[in-house]
Amino acid sequence: TTDFGIKEALATLGLKDINEGTSTGSNNFSNGEIIESYSPVDGKLIGKVKSTTKEDYEKVMTTATAAFQTWRTMPAPLRGEIVRQFGDKLREKKEALGKLVSYEMGKSYQEGLGEVQEMIDICDFAVGLSRQLHGLTMHSERPGHRMYEQYHPLGVVGIISAFNFPVAVWAWNTALAWICGDVCVWKPSEKTPMCGVACQNIAAEVFAANDLPEGICCLINGDYKVGELMSKDTRIPLVSATGSTRMGKIVAKEVAGRLGKTLLELGGNNAIIVTPDADIKMTVIGAVFGAVGTAGQRCTSTRRLIIHDSIYDKVKDAIVKAYGQLRIGNPLDENNHVGPVIDKDAVKGYQAALTKVVEEGGKIIVEGGVLSGEGYESGCYVKPAIAEAKNSFKIVQHETFAPVLYLLKYSGDVTNALDAQNGVAQGLSSAIMTNNLREAEHFLSVQGSDCGIANVNIGTSGAEIGGAFGGEKDTGGGRESGSDAWKVYMRRQTNTINYTTELPLAQGIKFDL
Ligand code: UN1
């Protein structure tokens, strides 16, 4: 693990080398079973953390609820100042954290750095927002009355995040929740626990330097059972969960059962529509990065290309050619385009998808396969594959978290492509490649894409933090990150003030005593 400066990165992030023991991180009460984190890059043990028991969880909740009492009374722009400092710390540690993300999760170093950049960006966004938590004022129908609304902090926000964006998704939630006056309890994926401890350490430094209670930022470790503690906990008014649709449905039911709020960011089955007026070169870049970036493990990864029959062969040939140039290997080596998938289970899911698509009548046009031999010892490196398929195939309807791309053909006008694009259970990201204004506008219209994200002449992945991020249908309906996504982290209050000596009733009701 001394290769590519991993040892140094771990030290910079306050993480213990595997020989030194368990990384507990700051403000961590975890005492449970050991979780070992193995790198999909080289199969080596990176480190260990302890999982959170029910008793540990109670301690976390006690510090979090106590910290909320302090944090919520601090003026929002001053909370913004803390988030600004946190963003600066992230700038300092960008290379180390980006490297750890790459090593523990398997995405390319460039994408690891990109992920940390998203954290920095959301901090900047949140700092500005801390002076803009605006409510409206309304004109009262009663004389001498004033009406307005205001937003107050919500309380303890529970965050459940996935392995694929092991640090950024947490930051999208915390940076906003913090300026909103909430405190956070985070359960990172048990597949990327070291990233969780690293982030906790960075945040802890900032809170300590400002004499603020660390309970503002809490970390819990473990599998779904630990997440369940939060779903059931009435002290947590909002649970923000990112992951599979299956997980989201369980969390949604549990939290709704106690009338709590959820913010769900679940699966996608994202397509790019390629019309006869598409720029082929741009299409290839967008589609290939979308399908193989993060080894096809983004929620926004491109899974389907819906190509017009008149240009089908041309696009297919160009994409197949581009796949021929992909270099698969150690993601810390910047010569490689594609790193490993997260673990051997993901490899199995990938293999099953390729078997199923053939069983259903599809045709593989770029062969897949698991790589072995030198540099591939972890057993997690797979070849990005392409199959010609039909939208109706069960496997095409399913989100396989791996680099498998399906080519679908459409004929006639763009409405036929849209039927296929919208004809899946998920509704996260979508794109159209066209220089035809009518097609582009139709795609964006009410009759167009039914997804939370709809792009013209760019791919499905790589959303910026300034926009609200999330999607419809099986994607869960939540929006996080930019725009007015902050509102879900606050409680809204409508206030009416009477500054007269009379008490007129609304709706003109007479009630004389
Ligand atoms: C995810 O996969 O959970 O749009 C989020 C993108 C990234 C975020 C993806 N900014 O690809």
Burial class (CB in 10 A: 0-12, 13-18, 19+), 158: buried
From 157, 203, 147, select the one nearest 184 (Cα to Cα): 157
SS3 208: helix
Answer yes or no: is the C-beta of 107 below 6 A from any ligand 1 atom: no
* Residue 438, CA distances (Å) to 148, 415, 434, 444 in order: 42, 11, 9, 10
The pLDDT score that the predictor gives to residue 316 is 98
What is the DSSP track for 365-395?
Answer: EE---B--STT-TTS--B--EEEE--TTSHH
pLDDT at residue 1, rounded to an integer: 42
Specify the residue for token string 């959303």.
463
Q: Is the CB of 299 under 6 A from ligand 1?
A: yes
Q: Is residue 164 within 6 Å of ligand 1 at its C-beta? A: yes
Sign of the alpha-carbon torsion through 305, 310, 315, 320? positive
What was the pLDDT predicted at 214? 87
Instruction: Check if the beta carbon of residue 60 is closer than 8 Å to that of residue 185.
Output: yes
Query: Does the CB atom of residue 391 touch ligand 1 within 6 A?
Result: no
- Alpha carbon of 117 to ligand 1 centroid (Å): 13
Q: 287 CA distance to ligand 1 centroid (A)?
A: 15
The DSSP code sequence of 110-155 is: HHHHHHHHHHHHHHHHHHHHTT-----EE--SSTTEEEEEEEEE--
Question: Cα of 367 to ligand 1 centre, how many Å?
Answer: 26
Q: Ligand 1, closest atom to CA 293?
A: 11
The number of the ligand 1 atom at minimal distance from the alpha carbon of 118 is 10
Cα 118 to ligand 1 centre (Å): 10
116 Cα–ligand 1 center, Å: 12
Can you give the pLDDT at residue 24?
66
Find out whether the beta carbon of 350 lies less than 6 Å from any atom of ligand 1: no
Cα dihedral 340/342/348/354 (nearest 10): -50
Which residue is closest in CA terms to ligand 1's atom 7?
Answer: 462
CB neighbour burial string for 285-314, b if at least 16 within 10 angstroms, e if fewer: ebbbbbbbbbbbbbbbbbbbbbbbeebbee
Residue from 105, 110, 244, 299 to probe ligand 1 pocket by mutation (most atoms less than 8 Å from CB): 299
| pLDDT (tens place) for every residue of the chain, 513 residues total | 447 899 999 999 999 876 666 776 666 788 899 999 999 999 999 999 999 999 999 999 999 999 999 999 999 999 999 999 999 999 999 999 999 999 999 999 999 999 999 999 999 999 999 999 999 999 999 999 999 999 999 999 999 999 999 999 999 999 999 999 999 999 999 999 999 999 999 999 999 999 999 899 999 999 999 999 999 999 999 999 999 999 999 999 999 999 999 999 999 999 999 999 999 999 999 999 999 999 999 999 999 999 999 999 999 999 999 999 999 999 999 999 999 999 999 999 999 999 999 999 999 999 999 999 999 999 999 999 999 999 999 999 999 999 999 999 999 999 999 999 999 999 999 999 999 999 999 999 999 999 999 999 999 999 999 999 999 999 999 999 999 999 999 999 999 999 999 999 999 999 988
Task: Give the residue, out of 118, 298, 428, with the most ligand 1 atoms within 8 A of its beta carbon, to mutate for a pocket test.
Answer: 298
Three-state secondary structure call for residue 351: helix
Q: Of all helices (H) and strands (E), which one includes residue 404?
A: strand 404-410
User: Separation of 300 CA from ligand 1 center, angstroms?
Assistant: 6
Strands 238-242, 404-410: pairing kind: unpaired
Is the minimum distance from the CB of 165 to ligand 1 under 6 angstroms? yes
State the catalytic residues: 265
Q: Torsion angle, CA of 29/203/109/274, rounded to 10 degrees?
A: 100
Contact 172, 199 (CB under 8 A): no
Does ligand 1 have an atom closer than 6 angstroms to the CB of 119?
no
Contact, 487 vs 151, CB < 8 A? yes
pLDDT for 396 equals: 98
| Contacts with 225 (C-beta within 8 Å, 6 or more apart), sequence order | none
Q: Pairing between strand 217-219 and 183-187?
A: parallel
- Residue 453 CA, closest ligand 1 atom number: 4
DSSP state of 51: P
For ligand 1, atom 6, the nearest C-alpha belongs to: 462
- Using the structure block, give the residue that is written with the tokens 């023991």: 21
Mutate to test the pocket of ligand 1, among 245, 294, 300, 303 (most ligand atoms within 8 A of CB): 300
* CA 472 to centroid of ligand 1, rounded, Å: 15
Structure tokens at 446: 């009410």
Regarding the beta carbon of 298 and ligand 1, being less than 6 Å apart is answered yes
Mutation test residue for ligand 1: of 165, 458, 464, the one with most atoms within 8 Å of CB:
165
Query: What is the C-alpha to C-alpha distance for residues 493 and 169, in angstroms, rounded to an integer?
Result: 28
Q: Which residue has the tokens 């193995």?
A: 38
Q: Which atom of ligand 1 is nearest to the CA of 464?
A: 10
Q: What is the pLDDT of residue 2?
A: 46
State how far the Cα of 438 lies from the Cα of 66, in Å rounded to an integer: 56
How far is residue 39's CA from residue 36's CA, in Å, rounded to a whole number?
10
467 lines ligand 1 (CB under 6 A): no
| Secondary structure (DSSP) of 239-271 | EEEES-HHHHHHHHHHHHHTT-EEEEE----EE
Q: What is the reported pLDDT for 19?
A: 66
ipTM of predicted assembly, 2 dp: 0.97
Nearest alpha carbon, ligand 1 atom 3 = 299
